[in-house]
Amino acid sequence: MREIEVLQLISDGLVNREIGQRLFLSEETVKSHVRHLLAKLQARSRAHAVAIGFRRGLIT
């Protein structure tokens, strides 16, 4: 799933532009994925989303 890939790359320290380059997506598409991630995980920030992702086993 694309959103999980984005979450993994966020956890690796990449910014939206770098994630877009890595996944061949526009920066706006990456921003959309991040917004969806935050909503689905009920996270307050990117860092919070990463923490939730680790706790739930979504990313390693």
At 31 the pLDDT is 98
pLDDT, position 18: 99
> Which domain, by its residues, includes 51?
2-55
Q: What are the tens digits of pLDDT across the range 5-58?
A: 999 999 999 999 999 999 999 999 999 999 999 999 999 999 999 999 999 999
Alpha-carbon distance 25 to 15, whole Å?
13
Length of the chain counted residue by residue: 60
Question: What total of structural domains would you count in the chain?
Answer: 1
pLDDT score of 1 = 86
Residue 60 lies inside a defined structural domain of this protein: no
Query: What pLDDT was estimated at residue 6?
Result: 98
Give domain status of residue 35, yes or no.
Answer: yes
Do 59 and 11 meet the contact criterion of CB atoms below 8 Å apart?
A: yes
CATH of the domain at 33: 1.10.10.10
Residue 51 lies in a domain: yes
The first and second tokens of residue 35, run together, are 């917004």
